[in-house]
Chain A
Amino acid sequence: MLPELSRDEILRYSRHLLIPEVGLEGQRKLKNSSALIIGTGGLGSPVALYLAAAGIGRIGLVDYDTVDSSNLQRQVIHGTSTVGKLKVESARDKLLDLNPGIQVDVYNEPYTSENALRIAKDYDIILDGTDNFPTRYLTNDVAVFLGKPNVYASIYRFDGQVSVFYAKEGPCYRCLFPEPPPPGLVPSCAEGGVLGVLPGTIGTLQATEALKVLLGIGEPLIGKLLLYNALDMSFDFVKLKKNPNCRVCGPNADIKELIDYEAFCGVPSHDHEEGSAGANWDITAPELAERVKTNHLKLVDVREPHELEISKLPDAKNIPLGQLAARLSELDSAEEMVVFCKGGTRSARALELLVSAGFKKVKNLKGGINAWAKEVDQNLPIY
């Protein structure tokens, strides 16, 4: 039995009620439905805003982060006034302001194998707005095990992908990507970054697919993957088939319960200690500031050249991480050396590379140039 709409709700949703594909019954279906959104970041922002505006009766939000000003370039559900607040609370307040007639449940915790089934089991649909492989595989497997549709999206710089993975009716994420890239084959973090509007474009497509699935209208992207490129303004579609050898949704599936996804992907899914190469290899920004007063130290900046326009340390030699392996001859292994990047992650990889190439007198600036800007030279910007 679908819930009735109040007089206020009929007015609020009148533009939906005027579309025959939605109509009064469709709007009552939406009121009766629930959606779980994993992540309230770039993708989660437009997804949550539009699903709330559309009148989804109950929305769940999972995130454990707090709002940072560097989020606001794309995470439009948050605002300057909510910097420092929990993301799920910042998002809930915005959603209830937009539509006080819905219920918003928040889960201020990382989405993990321990809590995911419990959190997801009472929702009709799951929307994947995660930013890392372990949580993506977890989100997929939870949806497969609970028999729920998983509206998938991911973004990178100018590229976006959208699909509806629904193992009952089509392939799952693992049918397309049976395993993540191995940890040894990782991209440089210098490759990061995203055009702020991109998650807006992709997230609204994700919300569109969720509404279609919940209303039972149109042709959802089940068995289809949408590939978007903002620079080319291209939309391409490819067909996805169920993989008969899929380990979670195939006929001979051998994964029957949630696994350790960090181990499976070989990477952590949640924030750990900030950019560190390990206690023996790190030097903190204040320690480095002391050392450079008395010792000659070679500073090697492994960031990309365009990042030097934001901040730089005097006398540092710039060799982007991607070029380091080919440019080792420019460095003297007898010299004491400190490698650094933005936050200490790329430089930890650089250190690993240098050490494996025989360099011994090398340290990693823990927390990168941002730590230096925070703790030593407040005139430098943090980015």
Chain B
Amino acid sequence: MPVLRIPTPLRAYTNGQSEVNVNGSNISDALTDLTIQYPALKPHLFNEGGDLRPFVNLFVGENNIKDLQGVQTPIRDGEKIMLIPSIAGGRHCEGEARSNIPFCYEIASSPIPAPRNDGV
């Protein structure tokens, strides 16, 4: 079974799991299986149209799937897949006691949907 490595910012949505075993013979199937196991991850990886978000980088072994066959890239049993987020960090999001930063986008994923999309 291929193994998908989850970066820290997204582990909040995988019950803290750093690695998730996924079923599938290509990246697309593996991500489908991943989001079935952990539905809360879905909005972080896919846009409303179901396409992989452009700032989500996936690597099979050492190679970016963008340099291979995209989501159709085949994966083998035991192969390691890495999800790489864009991190801006360095300083706390909300600033520190003296210097507040009103907006800070430290990771490339959102724990809440944008209000206009939340459907609540």
Contacts and interface: CB of A to CB of B under 8 A. Distances in A.
B84 interface: yes
Interface in B46-89: 53-55, 57, 59, 62-64, 66-67, 82, 84-89
Interface residues of B, number: 53
* Interface size range on A against B: 35 or more
A211 interface: no
Nearest to B101: A271
A129 B89 CA distance: 9
Given A132-B105, A187-B106, A192-B106, A68 B96 contact: yes
Contact of B9 (A65, A71, A159): A159
A357 B59 CA distance: 38
A267 B8 CA distance: 23
B15 to A, nearest CB: 15
B102 A268 contact: yes
A232 B78 CA distance: 19
A155 B102 contact: no
Given A177-B55, A187-B111, A272 B102 contact: yes
A161 interface: yes
Contacts of A132: 88, 90-91, 101, 104-105
A346 B94 CA distance: 8
B109 A68 contact: no
A242 to B, nearest CB: 10
Contact of A181 (B7, B82, B105): B105
Contact of B113 (A130, A265, A325, A341): A325
Nearest to B100: A274
Given A159-B7, A357-B120, A42 B113 contact: no
A68 B62 contact: no
Interface in A29-54: 39, 41-43
Main secondary structure of the interface of B (DSSP, over half): loop
A326 B120 contact: yes
Contacts, number: 223
A158 B18 CA distance: 12
Given A131-B91, A156-B106, A322-B112, A70 B62 contact: no
B78 to A, nearest CB: 16
B22 to A, nearest CB: 18
Given A191-B9, A273-B102, A367-B100, A325 B120 contact: yes
A383 interface: yes
Interface in A182-205: 183-194, 199
B107 A193 contact: no
Contacts of A194: 89-90, 92
A131 B90 contact: yes
B102 A324 contact: no
A41 B109 contact: no
Contacts of B57: 176-177
A271 B100 contact: yes
Interface stretch (A89-97, A106-114, A233-241, A251-259): A233-241
Interface string B26-51: 00000000000000000000000000
A94 to B, nearest CB: 19
When A and B form their complex, which 6 residue pairs have the shortest distance between CB atoms, in order from nearest? Answer: A131-B90, A192-B93, A189-B93, A131-B91, A184-B114, A356-B115
Given A183-B103, A275-B100, A325-B118, 9 more contacts: A66-B98, A130-B90, A156-B8, A192-B94, A192-B104, A194-B89, A274-B95, A274-B102, A353-B115
Interface of B: 5, 7-9, 12, 18, 53-55, 57, 59, 62-64, 66-67, 82, 84-118, 120
16 contacts: A68-B99, A131-B89, A155-B89, A155-B90, A159-B7, A161-B84, A177-B57, A179-B54, A180-B86, A185-B114, A189-B94, A275-B94, A275-B102, A345-B101, A345-B102, A356-B116
